[in-house]
Amino acid sequence: MPASKKRFWEIDFLRGIAVILMVAFHLLFDLRFFAGVSFGLGETFWFWFPRATAAIFILLVGVSLSISSSRSQASHKKFLNRGLRIFFYGLLISIFTFLLFPQEFIAFGILHLIGLSIIISIPFLKWRLRNLAVGIGAVALGLFLETVPAHSSFFLWLGLFPKAFQSFDFFPLFPWIGLVFLGIFAGNLLYPKAKRNFSFPDLSQNPAVRPFAFLGRHSLPIYFLHQPVLVFIILFLA
C-alpha cells in the first residue's frame, strides 16, 4: 500500500475499542431509558463513562488530522469539506432528536464538536509544541466556563449553558476542542510526515486485533446505525 494511503493499525484499533465502549454504554442507557432496566450503576458511572469514551474519539480526531495533513501538502479544502460534512450530520441528528425528544434533544453533540473542531484546527495542523499549549488552554477555559452562570442557551455550544439544560449528548467546543489540539500535537510528535516515529510490532493481521481495527475504520456509519438498531431490538423485546 502506498505511504499516502497507509493506515496505522494501532489508531484503528484504539478507535475500535472506543466504538465497543460507545455501543456498550448506549445499550445500558437504552435499556434504562426505554425498558426501565436498572443496573445499580451510580451517577459517577453515567457521567464519566461516556466522557472517557468520547475523549478517545476526540483525541484520535486530532491525531488523524495531523497524519492526513502531512500526506496532503495541497490546500486544506478537503478538511473544510470534511468538517462541514460531519457538522451537517450533527444537524440531522439535532432535527431527528428534536422531533422525538424535544426536552433533551441533541443541540450540540459530538458530531457538531468534531465537525467544527476540524474547521477551526486547519491553521494549527503544522504546529507542535504550540498545540500542546493551546490544547491545555482550551481545556482550562472550558473548566472555567462551567463555573460561569448562564441564563440563556445561546452560547451553550461554547460551554456556557444554564443549569437546567439537558441533552442526550452534549460536547461543547470548550473544553473538548482542547483534546483535538492535544491529538494534533501527539500526531505531529509520533507520526511526523505521516511516518511512525517509534518502533512497534505489526499486529495488523492478529486475529484479536483485526475485528477492533475493522470497527475503527467504520466508526462513523456504526455511530449512525447502532442506536436505531439497539432501540428497535429493545422495544421489540420489551
For residue 96, what pLDDT is reported? 94
Residues 41-82: tens digit of each pLDDT = 888 999 999 999 999 999 999 999 999 998 866 568 889 999
CB 63 within 8 A of CB 187: yes
For residue 3, what pLDDT is reported? 47
pTM of the predicted model as reported, rounded to 2 decimal places? 0.94
Residues 118-153: tens digit of each pLDDT = 999 999 998 889 999 999 999 999 999 999 999 889
| Average pLDDT of span 174-179 | 98
**Domains in the chain, number:** 1
For residue 171, what pLDDT is reported? 97
In a domain, 143, yes or no: yes
For residue 75, what pLDDT is reported? 60
In a domain, 149, yes or no: yes
In a domain, 1, yes or no: no
For residue 238, what pLDDT is reported? 75
C-alpha span between 118 and 60 (Å, rounded): 12
Cα angle: 104, vertex 29, 162; to 5 degrees: 30
The span from the first CA to the last CA of the chain, in angstroms, equals 48
| Those residues with Cβ within 8 angstroms of residue 117's Cβ, 6 or more apart along the chain or in another chain | 58, 61, 83, 173, 176, 177, 180
Residues 1-40: tens digit of each pLDDT = 444 467 899 999 999 999 999 999 999 999 999 998 888 8
For residue 1, what pLDDT is reported? 45
In a domain, 223, yes or no: no
CB 117 within 8 A of CB 142: no
In a domain, 159, yes or no: yes
Residues 204-233: tens digit of each pLDDT = 999 999 999 999 999 999 999 999 999 999
For residue 59, what pLDDT is reported? 98
**Percent of residues, the chain, with pLDDT higher than 70:** 96
In a domain, 211, yes or no: no
For residue 63, what pLDDT is reported? 97
| Those residues with Cβ within 8 angstroms of residue 228's Cβ, 6 or more apart along the chain or in another chain | none
In a domain, 112, yes or no: yes
| Average pLDDT of span 169-197 | 96
In a domain, 228, yes or no: no
C-alpha span between 10 and 109 (Å, rounded): 26
Taking 80 as the threshold, does the pLDDT of residue 89 lie above it? yes
CB 185 within 8 A of CB 124: no
Averaged confidence pLDDT in the chain: 93
**Domain span holding position 193:** 74-197
